[in-house]
Amino acid sequence: MTSKSETERKLADAAWPYWEAEGEIAKRFYAHATPDDHAFYLRAQLWKELNPVDGYFNGLHRELVRLAEKFPLVDKEIDRHDYHFALTQLTEEFNHYVLLADIFEHIVARPIAADDTIQLPEEKKLGDLRRGYVESGDPITRAAVGFTEGGGAALFREGAKISGGDINDMTAHAMKVIYDDEKDHYVEMAKEAVGLIANDDDLTRMVDAIRAISAQRVWMRNEMFRDPMTRDEINRFIETNKR
């Protein structure tokens, strides 16, 4: 077995080309997006913000209820630092919804309605894949689900760079906030993942799961952004960016 730092590098290298593909998809989308395009992707992204039901996370509402119920256990059965971390994550996630919903309302010029958010087919495939890994009972593949959450924040990194007009300016602000919140999450999850790897077989299983989840994230993101890249272009991009 390699050192922990080398193992972490191998996990990041497995995900890297897929994360960068998400970023490239976003970059191409934002370069030519119309207000209708923005509204389309926001409907899908807002669904993701509220309903990350994949076995690892179980919807923002349910996670908030679960965390509130555990409050009496703080400093008894639950470490206060761990509780604060979980609480911070949930408040950040809701703030992401608020920021993106504000952009959507600006575009459609009316209050957001319950049926404005939508789960697209590739997102459903991603949720099913992640849920399968989580519910497999294998802590190795469960950790791979956590490690891949957020796609390395590549979408938000690219979105934070755009400018020109109210929609782009609002989007850049929201994406900068989300990027700052999300950019180090995978580092925390990497520590958990590396700590579970005891042998080469564990590493192989985790890398395989990371690649499978990350690939489906790319298809999800391309669909959300109205296919700015063809499948052949995406496959070539991933192959070129492998480490």
The residues spanned by each domain of the chain are 4-240
- Average pLDDT (222-235) is 98
Reference 129, options 111, 103, 149; nearest CA is: 149
Res 54: pLDDT: 53
Distance (Å, whole) CA 145 – CA 139: 10
> Model pTM?
0.91
CB 148 within 8 A of CB 217: yes
Are the C-beta atoms of 41 and 224 separated by less than 8 Å? yes
Position 5 confidence tier, pLDDT thresholds 50, 70, 90: confident
State residue 197 phi and psi, 5-degree precision.
-85, 115
* Tens digit of each residue's pLDDT (9 = 90 or more) over 21-47: 999 999 999 999 999 999 999 999 999
CATH fold of the domain at 4-240? Heme Oxygenase; Chain A (1.20.910)
Task: Decide if pLDDT at 73 tops 60.
Answer: yes
For residue 217, is pLDDT > 90? yes
Is the predicted pLDDT of residue 211 greater than 90, yes or no? yes
206-239 exposure pattern, b = at least 16 Cβ within 10 A, e = fewer = bbebbbbbbbbbbbbbbbbbeebbeeebbeebbe
Mean pLDDT taken over the chain: 92
